[in-house]
Amino acid sequence: MAEPILRTEGLTKRFGGLVAVSDVSLDLQVGEVHVVIGPNGAGKSTLTNLLSGDLPPSAGRVVLEGRDIAGLSSDQISRMGVGRSYQKTNIFLPFTVFENARLAAQSRTPHAMRVFGRAEAYAEINARASAALDAAGLGHRAGRVAATLSHGEQRQLEIAMCLATQPRVLLLDEPLAGMGPHESQRMVELIKKLTADHAIMLIEHDMDAVFAVAHRLTVMVNGEVLESGTPEQVRASPAVQAAYLGGEEMLHG
């Protein structure tokens, strides 16, 4: 088995007396989609926040390519190649779609602090922004103001911004939420395509999508890992079956 690009050891997050994430160890590898599922409140989003640096862990390690990044700020972690999308759409509503992607692309270059040249004057940043929009299927909306996009399109923009930062690790928090069937299908295709050269952690409720893309599956309940393994192993797990009564509730989680 190849060396994982990112792994956690005993990752724990407490809020006062509440343990939101408890002793979670998992790893992500380039070429694999690692899906995390579980009912609402299982700690999936908190886990994402711990990996991206939005929250500092209470205990445990997050190791990115051999380096412990637990406790670093989110901008540092982002610059080290970990990109994330948010469950609640988190974009620049007053800006155009292109400007959203352009800002994301700009964050990766030494031009970012440049004070004089016009922001649009850098061809490679523009190219990267356009490529990210095309990949997410938003190329035709580049000139629109983000606030005027449909909900599904805003979700796509969320992913496009994440891609424009050229991450190697992608943390996708419910990217399909609120998307129509056509857009969902497109997003599943995109995730499959990205798998080749990214390590992806996907949090998702849509079980069809989950089993379409998952190489590995981790089930979380009450902040703890209930089961982890290949989709077949997890499906066959007595613990998971006991907890979910044949997986029906997982769908409605």
Distance of closest approach, residue 112 Cβ to another protein, in angstroms: 6
Distance of closest approach, residue 88 Cβ to another protein, in angstroms: 11
Pick 115 or 245: Cβ nearer another protein: 115
In the structure encoding, which two tokens stand for residue 29, read together? 């590898």
Judged by the rule CB under 8 A, the positions of this chain that interact with another protein are 52, 54, 73-75, 78-79, 84, 86, 90-96, 99, 102-104, 106-108, 111-119, 122, 145, 147-148, 161, 165
Query: Do 160 and 136 touch, CB atoms closer than 8 A?
Result: yes
Distance of closest approach, residue 166 Cβ to another protein, in angstroms: 10
The residue among 65, 1, 54, 5 whose CA lies nearest residue 198 is 5
Distance of closest approach, residue 247 Cβ to another protein, in angstroms: 33
Pick 162 or 179: Cβ nearer another protein: 162
Q: Beta partners for 84?
A: 171
User: What is the rounded CA–CA span in Å between residue 72 and residue 30?
Assistant: 22
Distance of closest approach, residue 38 Cβ to another protein, in angstroms: 23
Pick 78 or 228: Cβ nearer another protein: 78
Question: Phi and psi for 168 in degrees, rounded to 5?
Answer: -100, -25
The tokens 């445990």 sit on which residue?
Answer: 60
Pairing of strands 199-203, 169-173: parallel
Pick 114 or 192: Cβ nearer another protein: 114
Pick 79 or 215: Cβ nearer another protein: 79
Question: What does the DSSP 8-state code read for residue 98?
Answer: H
Query: Do 35 and 218 touch, CB atoms closer than 8 A?
Result: yes
